[in-house]
Amino acid sequence: MAHQEVALPLALPSTEKHYMTLSREGPLFILHLHNKDNRFTTEVCKAIIHALQVVEDTFLAQKEPTEMALITVGDGKFFSNGLDVAHAREYIPFMDSYLTMLKKLLTFTIPTVAALNGHAFAGGCMLALAHDYRVMRTERGFMCMNEIDIKAPLHPGMNALLRYKTTPKTLRALVLQGYRFNSDEALAADLVDEICPEKELMATAKKLALKWAPKAKAGIVYRQLKEELSTDTIRLLSVPYNRLESSRL
Amino acid sequence: MSEVSFPLAIPSADNHLMTLHQEGPLFILHLHHKDNRFTTEFCRGILYALQVVEDIFNDSEDPVDMALVTTGEGKIYSNGLDLMHAVSYIPFMETYLLMLRRLLTFCIPTVAALNGHAFAGGCLLALAHDYRVMRDDRGYMCMNEIDLPANLPPGMAGLLRYKMTPDTFRNCVLQGHRFPAKQALDEKLVDVICPGTEVLPKAKELALKWAPKAKSGIIYRQLKEEMYADVVRLLSIPYNRLAPKM
């Protein structure tokens, strides 16, 4: 498949339906999610997957691998508030897209940094944890897995991702308590790598991304290493998600 | 979900690699692009067709009889992977394996109408269906990787292992044996064999016979996911090749 040049910045899914924007600054790709509280629907997940594919294709089209990294950031008070629960309940194939998105991000081909501009709840917390690195603003916003409080179970792959990226005590607080980690607590619990004031967030995230971008010169090996590290998580994220609907289907 | 109208040209009317038809409870996916080799685009076309059918299935108030039949064109069902594309575009295998996985655990009964050769990746496509009808006078089922030579990623080997008896599996993979219809029937690779002109009608007949099982709703897929749990897992293992440069 010949690499087709995509013009950046790229509005996704489309200019009429503009939920997120993919742009480029030198070696850095920036995916800016700006659709209200950035909840996941099938459409949103597919757009993120599309953005990842554009970046991956650019990476692969090079003659020699160069420095590259991806930063994801939300908008306003929200990084992401998680799954659009109504949509998830009514459209059975949704979870497939969501889990695929997590899997692709988790093993993405270049270093990834999540810039937590605000709340990262439930599915949004997992999106953050699926990145290699996290920078979180201070003063406002929490990382939280509130499934316990909304009485929702966690798919095996979602559990595996948490297990893979957090220490046992933090995992227990996240999952069994629905604990809301502010930036200081998130840093102390190793949920994030750096914290900073809101106005310094993008600069700090870019600095961290530029620091690790040279690892992309490993070429396909960067991804292969991540796939081996997270092999159990990938396997579990691939377990089909089904819910027994009480009525009909 | 958006309404589609049949017949549906996929990926598009100007780039018409396959057509999805609806005939009562049956969906017919007709692959008709040269020798139906898999590229990323071709696989995505099939994935899209499956999604269209699945959405219709999910949309019905109560589950009804439904089944999917796939067929190829002319002398060939499918000749397998487009190898040039596979080696030049690294993300391709992911899409191909995903397509196999989706078909293997598809939410309604599936029948492959083997109008002709099913080689390598095309043989796997056939085996990923619940049932197979094969033309009795021409064409082979064959896994010729041994002769290319090429390896079999975990999911592809796993799919074969689960859908064949041990001796057939060995002969298929280690010998690259070409199974003509009679032998394919004897060794249980296919369910029905018949003259070429009857392949599609017999496939539809078989599909209509099992279509009522779709009334089990989401259970049909869940049962297949449990039956083939190991294959699903294996098909999900990332496939990478150490390319010389990247």
The pLDDT-based confidence of B24 (bands split at 50, 70, 90) is very high
* Beta carbons of B39 and A1 less than 8 Å apart: yes
Question: Tell me, what's the pLDDT at B72?
Answer: 98
The mean of the pLDDT values for chain B is 94
Cα B131 to Cα B9, B51, B161, B206, B240: the distances in Å are 25, 20, 16, 8, 31
Q: Which of A41-55, A79-93, B35-49 has the lowest mean pLDDT?
A: A79-93
Does the beta-carbon distance from A227 to B85 stay under 8 Å?
no
**pLDDT tens digits for range B164-216:** 998 999 999 999 999 999 999 999 999 999 999 999 999 999 999 999 999 99
- Classify residue A30 by its DSSP letter: E
Question: How high is the pLDDT of residue B2?
Answer: 60
Asked if the model's pLDDT at residue B140 lies above 50, the reply is: yes
Q: Do A92 and B90 touch (CB under 8 A)?
A: no
Q: Which of B221, B225, B246 sits opposite A219 (nearest CB)?
A: B246
Choose between B90 and A67: higher pLDDT. Answer: A67
Q: Which residues of B touch A240 (CB under 8 A)?
A: 105, 221-222, 225, 232
Q: Which residues of A touch B58 (CB under 8 A)?
A: 91-93, 249
Measure the CA–CA gap between A165 and A131, rounded to whole angstroms: 10
The second-level CATH assignment, the architecture, of B8-245 is Alpha-Beta Complex (3.90)
A91 neighbourhood in chain B, CB within 8 Å: 1, 58
pLDDT higher than 90, residue A1: no
Show the DSSP H helices in A117-229 as ranges.
123-129, 147-150, 156-165, 168-177, 183-188, 201-212, 220-229
| Residue A244: per-residue pLDDT | 43
Peptide bond into A111 cis (omega under 30): no
Q: Is the pLDDT of residue A243 over 90?
A: no
Look at residue A4 in the predicted model and tell me its pLDDT.
67
**Is the per-residue pLDDT at A167 higher than 50?**
yes
- CA separation for the pair A185, B182 (Å, rounded): 68
Q: Domains of chain B: which residue ranges?
A: 8-245
Q: Given B1, B41, B217, which is nearest A249 (Cβ)?
A: B217
CB A7, CB A22: distance < 8 Å: no
What pLDDT score was predicted for residue A245?
Answer: 41
Domains of chain A by start residue, with CATH: 10-239 (3.90.226.10)
* Per-residue confidence band for B245, with pLDDT thresholds at 50, 70 and 90: very low
Distance CA(A10)–CA(A7), nearest Å, equals 6
Name the strand (E) or helix (H) holding A59.
helix A42-61
DSSP codes of every residue in B111-124: EEEE-SEEETHHHH
B201 closest CA partner among B118, B103, B97, B111: B111
**Confidence category of residue A239, pLDDT binned at 50, 70, 90:** confident
Under 8 Å CB pairs connecting chains A and B tally to: 74
Question: Residue ranges of the alpha helices (H) in chain B?
Answer: 40-59, 83-88, 92-104, 121-127, 154-163, 166-175, 181-186, 199-210, 218-227, 229-235
pLDDT at A124 over 50: yes
pLDDT score recorded for residue B241:
57
Instruction: Check residue A77 and report its DSSP letter.
Output: T
Q: Which of B4-18, B212-226, B232-246 has the lowest mean pLDDT?
A: B232-246
Q: What is the spatial distance between Cα B99 and Cα B84, in angstroms, rounded to a whole number? A: 19
pLDDT at A92 over 90: no
| Tokens linked to B199 | 């392949």
Taking only the tens place, the pLDDT of each residue in B92-108 is: 999 999 999 999 999 99
pLDDT of amino acid A3: 59
Looking at residue B148, its pLDDT comes to 86
- The residues, any chain, with a CB within 8 Å of residue A2's CB and separated by 6 or more, are none
Say what the pLDDT of residue A248 is: 34
The per-residue pLDDT for B150 is 85
Residue A127 phi/psi, 5-degree rounding, is -60, -45
* List of residues 6+ apart from A184 with CB closer than 8 A: A138, A195
Q: In whole angstroms, what is the distance from residue B151 CA to residue A126 CA?
A: 35
Identify the helix (H) or strand (E) that includes residue A99.
helix A94-106
**Residues B125-128: contacts with CB under 8 Å, at least 24 apart:** B125/B70, B125/B77, B125/B78, B125/B100, B126/B77, B126/B78, B127/B159, B127/B160, B127/B163, B127/B164, B127/B189, B128/B100, B128/B103, B128/B104, B128/B159
pTM attached to this predicted model: 0.84
Percent of chain B scoring above 70 in pLDDT: 96
Interface subset of A 78-107, CB within 8 angstroms of B: 91-93, 107
What is the reported pLDDT for B243?
A: 45
Q: Tell me the pLDDT band of B239, cut-offs 50, 70 and 90.
A: confident
Instruction: Give the residues across from B114 on adjacent strands.
Output: B134
Residues of chain B numbered 105-134 and touching chain A (CB < 8 Å): 105
**B-proximal residues of A, 41-60, CB under 8 Å:** 53, 56-57, 60
